[in-house]
Amino acid sequence: MTPIRRLAFVVNEQKPGACALAEDLVALARSHGVETRVSLAYPTPLEHFRDVDACCVIGGDGTLLGAAPAAAQAGIPLIGVNRGTLGFLTPFTADEARDCLPTLLSGDFRTSERALLACRVGEAPPVLALNDLLIKDAANSRLVRLEVLADDELVTDYLCDGLIFSTPTGSTAYNLSAGGPLIHPAAEVLAMTPICPHTLSNRAIIFRSGVTLRVRNVSESSDGLVVAADGRALPAPGAADTVEITLAADRLRLIQRRDHSHFAIVRTKLKWAGAAAEKR
C-alpha cells in the first residue's frame, strides 16, 4: 500500500481517554513526518476528508458511523480506534493504535471494502448508512403495516413494530438483536428484518446487490413513520411518500492489520463458546 503522508483525525471527546490518546497519536504521526488535522464534529463534514490519505477515528462504533458517509464519498479509508464498548468497526485498542500506527503509516496494512445503504425519503436527496436503516411507526407502542416492493414487485405487507434494512457490516448491530442473520462483510447483499412481526412466519430476507426496495405505510391509522439511518433521524415521510433503499455506489474502506480476522472479532465480541473459544 502507498504510505500515509497526510492523516486526519476524528475524535469523540465524550469517550474517556479519547482526547489524550488523540494527542499521543497526532504527536506520533508528526514525528514520522505526517501532516495531521483533527475534528471533533459529529457527523464529520466532507471538507475534513479532502486532501488527506486516511483518517483515524477515535471513539466507538457510533463515532465511526458518523464519519463513514463523508469518508466514503471522499474515498478516504478509516482507521478505527476503540474507546467505546463493542468495537466491531473500531478494532484497534489504544495500545494497539500506539504500537501499530508507524506500521500503518508506512503502508503496511490491508483494507476491507464495505457496502453502504443509500436511503431516500420521498424526493429528498439520498442519505448513506454504513449499518442500517430503521422504519417504524412514530408511536412506539403501535404496530405499523408496511408494504414492501422489490424492483416494483410486491414482497408482502408486514404488520410489525418496524423494519430494519441492513448492510453486511450492520448485520451484527440492530439486525442481529432483532433475530436477523449474520452476513460476511464482503457479501454484496442487504438484509430486511421485521421487528416483532405479527405473523410468525415473517422472517428476514436477503436481497441481491442491485435491488431497489420501496416501503410504504399502508396502516389504516398511524401517527406517521420514523426513519433513521445509522441512528440519525431522516425527514418524516408524508402520507404519499415511499422510502427507497438500495446499496450505494460508494464504498467505505476500513484499514486493518494484515493479520486481521473477521471471525476472530465476531467470536470475541459476541462471546461465542465452543472449541475455538476454549483454545484461546
pTM for the model stands at 0.92
- Please confirm, yes or no, whether 241 is among the known catalytic residues: no
Q: Is 271 helix (H, G, I), strand (E, B) or coil?
A: coil
pLDDT at position 59 over 60: yes
pLDDT at position 275 over 90: no
In tens, the pLDDT along 151-175 reads 999 999 999 999 999 999 999 999 9
Backbone angles phi, psi at 152, to 5 degrees: 70, 10
Stretch among 84-93, 115-124, 181-190, 250-259 having the lowest mean pLDDT? 84-93
Q: What is the mean pLDDT of the chain?
A: 94
Task: Provide the pLDDT for residue 220.
Answer: 84
Which member of 24, 51, 53, 61 is catalytic? Answer: 61
Please report where in the chains the cell 483525525 appears, as a residue.
9
Superfamily of domain 6-109+257-279: Probable inorganic polyphosphate/atp-NAD kinase; domain 1 (3.40.50.10330)
Q: Taking the domains of the chain in order of start, what are their residue ranges? A: 6-109+257-279, 116-250
Alpha carbon 123 to chain centroid distance?
24
Strands 78-82 and 54-59: parallel
Q: Is 100 helix (H, G, I), strand (E, B) or coil?
A: helix
Judge whether 55 and 7 are in contact, CB under 8 Å: yes
Between CA 191 and CA 199, with CA 196 as vertex, the angle to 5 degrees is: 95
- Reply yes or no on domain 116-250 having CATH 1.10.20.10: no
Judge whether 252 and 136 are in contact, CB under 8 Å: no
Please report where in the chains the cell 414487485 appears, as a residue.
153
In tens, the pLDDT along 182-232 reads 999 999 999 999 999 998 889 999 999 999 999 999 998 777 899 999 999
